[in-house]
Amino acid sequence: MYDDLHNAVELPVDVRRVVSIVPSLTESIAVTHPALIVGATDWCTHPADLDVARVRGTKNPDLERIRELAPDVVVANLEENRAVDLDALRADGIAVWVTAPTTVPESLDSLERMLSAITGDVPSWLHEARAVWTTSYDGMRRRAVIPIWRRPWMALGRDTFAGDLLARIGIDNVLADGAADEVAPLVHSGERYPRFDPDALPEYDIAVLPDEPYPFSGSDGPEAFGKPARCISGRHLTWYGPSLVEARELLTAQLA
């Protein structure tokens, strides 16, 4: 079996113990097969009743605790987790499955491969998510800046899952390619998560402010922009899993 990086992952016939160090993957497996998850990060907040051992964060997992949990596989993400940590787990003989989607269709395919391999099942919620995101968007389009951090300001740039998701509901990221640099020299839009100056942006219609990873809110963020700002659910913007079933309708309403 092969993960998103085309790495061969040796799994037992019956996977019984999974440690997840990615919140969206924790939710995906726990909703599909609750008994499999034995460890998760401190940031794994869904499902709400998740009661498993905690292994710190995505960037600083407690490798010794993970080893003690004796997982059949650790599920991780290319972007959220550090290669040095994943390599250390592999060196201990622990199977590691890495996801790496950058679009909504890729995320659905990635989840199907992972869940089929680990749980032996393609859950109904994944079929529902595919149906939700099959319909194309044909309404009015808006240009947006999508900050993800403050002090320093950072935003979504090129080739991101969240940027692709927004494009599918009519929100085009003004920092998705390098063209913006010619207009606003203080923006490095050729990067995936560029730093930027709110006062030196290319022309845009709206600022989209998710509540994670930085907790933007009505009183922290909108005042920095000279255009309308909308605060949205970061989980529905950046997580790929069961949240994709409701993400389209919810984010469309929040961005109205």
79 and 41 belong to one structural domain: yes
**Position 53 in a domain:** yes
What's the pLDDT score for residue 188? 54
pLDDT at residue number 177 = 76
Give a yes or no: residue 6 inside a domain: no
Q: Collect the ranges in the chain with pLDDT lower than 50.
A: 183, 185-186
Domain with residue 81: its CATH number is: 3.40.50.1980
Query: Strand, coil or helix: what is 73?
Result: strand
How many residues in the chain? Answer: 256
- The pLDDT assigned to 237 comes to 98
User: Pairing between strand 73-77 and 96-99?
Assistant: parallel
Number of H helices, E strands in the chain: 9, 11
Is the residue at 135 inside a domain? Answer: no
Residues 90 and 180 grouped into a single domain:
no
Amino acid at 117: A
**Could you read off the pLDDT of 5-17 as tens digits, one per residue?**
999 999 999 999 9
Going from the C-alpha of 58 to that of each of 43, 86, 212, the distances in angstroms are 8, 11, 14
Same domain membership, residue 246 and residue 155: yes
What is the domain range of residue 31?
A: 18-124
Digit-coded pLDDT (tens) for 162-217:
999 999 999 999 999 755 555 454 455 568 999 999 999 999 999 999 999 999 99
ω before 71 within 30° of 0 (cis)? no
Alpha carbon distance 127, 25 (integer Å): 16
